[in-house]
């Protein structure tokens, strides 16, 4: 994303908690919906969309950092979860996000891996912005399942 750009989306209520999200530029709209008991779960919930945005950005950033050093992760798989609980006013809030990123290559196949792992999160516009308000844990593992990197907390 270039600096100064102003990304935008438009939402249109379909019914109840279902909204069609229009991203513009020929991208198909996405149906979002709250899960039961509020909605019918016909699409991802706002919390799932937040998780998808953070996980996608962190994955993109890891890929970017690897490609910067001409390395091939041989595929990336990411899973993100949220802890949702009540704040001091009794309102539901996302309290923590955990992002588990795995790449298929073995750690020893990736040159400059320490440098890559030490810097990739800094490239993540969405993840670092969200991390300013929500504690976020990021874990990276290689194709053998070996945990290579873990950070926790707020920015």
Q: Are 18 and 33 in contact (CB under 8 A)?
A: yes
Q: How many helices (H) and strands (E) does the chain have?
A: 3, 7
* Structure letter (DSSP) for residue 103: E
One digit per residue, the tens of pLDDT, for the chain of length 155 reads 567 788 999 999 999 999 999 999 899 999 999 999 999 999 999 999 999 999 999 999 999 999 999 999 999 999 999 999 999 999 999 999 999 999 999 999 999 999 999 999 999 999 999 999 999 999 999 999 999 999 999 98
Residue extents of the structural domains in the chain:
8-44, 46-151
Q: What is the CATH number of domain 46-151?
A: 3.30.300.20
């Amino acid at each position: 994303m270039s600096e100064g750009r102003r990304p935008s989306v438009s939402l249109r209520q379909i019914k109840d908690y279902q909204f069609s999200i229009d991203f513009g530029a020929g991208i198909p709209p996405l149906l979002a919906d709250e899960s039961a008991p509020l909605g019918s779960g016909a699409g991802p919930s706002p919390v799932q969309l937040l998780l998808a945005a953070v996980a996608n950005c962190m994955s993109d950033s890891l890929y970017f950092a690897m490609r910067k050093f001409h390395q091939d992760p041989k595929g990336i798989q990411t899973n993100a979860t949220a802890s949702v609980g009540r704040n001091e006013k009794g309102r539901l809030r996302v309290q923590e996000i955990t992002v588990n990123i795995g790449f298929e290559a073995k750690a020893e196949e990736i040159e400059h891996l320490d440098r890559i792992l030490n810097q990739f999160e800094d490239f993540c516009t969405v993840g670092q912005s969200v991390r300013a308000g929500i504690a976020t844990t990021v874990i990276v593992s290689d194709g053998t399942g070996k945990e290579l990197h873990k950070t926790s907390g707020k920015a």
